[in-house]
Amino acid sequence: MATDPAVVQHDSRSAAVVGAGPAGLYALAALLKGDAFDSVDVFEAAPAPYGLVRYGVAPDHPKTRNISRVLARGFEHAHVRFLGNVTVGRDVAVDDLRAAYDAVVVATGMLGDRRLGVPGEDLDGSLGASELVAWYTGHPEAPAIELPDELRAAAVIGAGNVALDVARILTKDPATLRRTSMPRHVVDALTASTLTDVHIVARRGPAQAKFTSPELHEIGNLDDIDLVVDPADTVLDADDQQAVADDRRSRVITDLVHEWSEREPRGAPRRIRLHFWSRPVRFTGPGHVRGIDLEPTRDDGTGRASSSLPVEMVVRAIGYHGQAIPGVPFDGATGTVPAHDGRVLDDDGSVIPGLYVTGWLRRGPTGVIATNRGDANEVAASVLADLETLPAHAPERRPVDDLLAERDVRVVSWDDWLRLEAHEKAEGEAVGADPIVVHDLKTVLEVIERRDG
């Protein structure tokens, strides 16, 4: 068979994965199974791997966080490297990677929060869930959050598991949080918090909420917390009845919320109040959030009127939103990268050879961690199918290591990470806690540069 002159047969194949979250690391595992690569480099902006498994999944869910053990397996291969603390698009360009590797798989997830677009959203005390979550999980780039001195009540906008995580972390007995991986300054702040009430505000009814039942059950079983639901919120309309008929999860959630609406409050010191069929129309100040105005989203015949909740903090948990990486096409409306079977599409709809996308950046912020495995497998299959037809590298291709060294980037290697991990474990064991996340980059670098273990 004649060989296409445009296609150069390579002796040695290399791939780069950008983002060491679940999607990137599942993609790594799938690429390795193909046994087609002589080297795979994984670039990660944070100084530690695992993406939202480390900096998203709640610290009081250690079993879920332990998925990191599975995700770590790719790094057991001698020809796989971790290049942490490297932000692609800033420290090294996507084009540099495309020039240096046969295939580049972008898996940078979603970084920020969607906005509500209501007046007062930028008042002090109003923040996105991604900021609060980054703070309580110890992300080095998290904003320094100070809970308001007079904090009595907070509102969490959203009807998904992130809203439940936030409500739970804010109200949970801090003594239990002290046994988790949560950075100590965060546990201290939550211990000092005077918060008594968290209002979860959901646009639609329980039947159409995105909560999953184990997480909802969990907040129903928390010690020292009363759950409060208005019975009128549990009345099903036609859409709800359809949702309940079609979907078991919806049925379970509706039943649970209904059960809570009939519960007598136990006089617990803290309360989580669920408000369904409500949407915030304004955050009120002045200067700092003092309240939110809510409007009903349905007329349920109960004469429900607009209302105001006095709150000192509002957390938007209405979904994460992707951020463009320079050099990668991006759809600002969806916050995702346009692709076909994971092959990134240019503005004119043509495939960009050798550039792939997977995970949240490909399909949006939906699904559980394991959803990223199927997604990554599909994308890796595209990579492997394309491999022989990918364009040859430019002859002057420069090793990315040189670029990073020239730019003085302190790359965190896998061994560095293992040193940090051992340190976090020891810090936790010393106080009877899970490994405690080191949250500031300066300390991270000090720990990994200490050679005495």
Ligand X SMILES: Cc1cc2nc3c(=O)[nH]c(=O)nc-3n(C[C@H](O)[C@H](O)[C@H](O)COP(=O)(O)OP(=O)(O)OC[C@H]3O[C@@H](n4cnc5c(N)ncnc54)[C@H](O)[C@@H]3O)c2cc1C
Binding annotation for FAD:
23, 44, 52, 88, 360, 367-369
Among 29, 209, 325, 357, binds ligand X (CB under 6 A): 325
- Per CB under 6 A, the segment of 21-29, 191-199, 406-414, 425-433 that binds ligand X is 21-29
Adjacent-strand bridge partners of 291? 284, 310
| Shortest distance in whole angstroms from residue 408 CB to ligand X | 17
List residues forming the annotated binding site: 23, 44, 52, 88, 203-204, 215, 360, 367-369
- Per CB under 6 A, the segment of 83-91, 96-104, 266-274, 330-338 that binds ligand X is 83-91
| Shortest distance in whole angstroms from residue 371 CB to ligand X | 6
Q: What are phi and psi of 411, to 5 degrees?
A: -75, 130
At 355 the three-state DSSP class reads: strand
Query: Is 13 within 8 Å of 38 (Cβ atoms)?
Result: yes
- Whose structure tokens read 């809970």? 147
Among 151, 311, 357, 369, binds ligand X (CB under 6 A): 369
Residue 43 binding ligand X, by CB under 6 A: yes
Among 98, 359, 384, 438, binds ligand X (CB under 6 A): 359
Amino acid at 218: E
- Provide, for the chain, the percentages of residues in helix, strand and coil under a 3-state DSSP scheme, each rounded to the nearest 5: 35, 20, 45
List residues forming the annotated binding site for NADP(+): 203-204, 215, 367
Give the x/- contact pattern for ligand X in 94-123, rule: CB under 6 A.
-------------xxx--------------
Scan residues 259-298 and list those touching ligand X (CB under 6 A): none
Scan residues 163-192 and list those touching ligand X (CB under 6 A): 165
| Separation CA 101–CA 18 (nearest Å) | 12
Adjacent-strand bridge partners of 103? 15
Residue 410 binding ligand X, by CB under 6 A: no
From residue 288, give the alpha-carbon distance in Å to each of 113, 314, 423.
Answer: 20, 10, 39
Which is closer to ligand X, CB of 23 or CB of 229?
A: 23
Contacts of 184 (CB under 8 A, 6+ apart): 436
Q: At what angle do helices 248-261 and 238-246 cross, to 10 degrees?
A: 120
Q: Around Cβ 35, how many Cβ atoms within 10 Å? A: 8
Which is closer to ligand X, CB of 107 or CB of 311?
A: 107
Task: Give the CA count within 13 Å in the CB-facing half-sphere of 29.
Answer: 18
Scan residues 49-78 and list those touching ligand X (CB under 6 A): 51-52, 56-57, 61, 64
DSSP for 81-109 reads EEEES--BTTTB-HHHHHHH-SEEEE---
| Shortest distance in whole angstroms from residue 61 CB to ligand X | 5
Query: Is 177 within 8 Å of 59 (Cβ atoms)?
Result: yes
Scan residues 370-409 and list those touching ligand X (CB under 6 A): 372
At 415 the three-state DSSP class reads: helix
Residue 18 binding ligand X, by CB under 6 A: yes
Scan residues 427-446 and list those touching ligand X (CB under 6 A): none
Which is closer to ligand X, CB of 49 or CB of 206?
A: 49
Closest CA to 18 of 99, 84, 100, 112: 84
Give the x/- contact pattern for ligand X in 124-163, rule: CB under 6 A.
---------x----------------------------x-
| Shortest distance in whole angstroms from residue 21 CB to ligand X | 2
Among 46, 294, 309, 444, binds ligand X (CB under 6 A): 46
| Shortest distance in whole angstroms from residue 299 CB to ligand X | 34
Residue with smallest beta-carbon separation from ligand X = 21
Adjacent-strand bridge partners of 357? 106
**Token pair belonging to 419:** 């040193």
Helix residue ranges per DSSP H, 182-302 = 184-192, 213-220, 238-246, 248-261
Q: Which residues bind ligand X (CB under 6 A)?
A: 18-24, 43-46, 51-52, 56-57, 61, 64, 87-89, 107-109, 133, 162, 165, 320, 325, 359-360, 367-369, 372
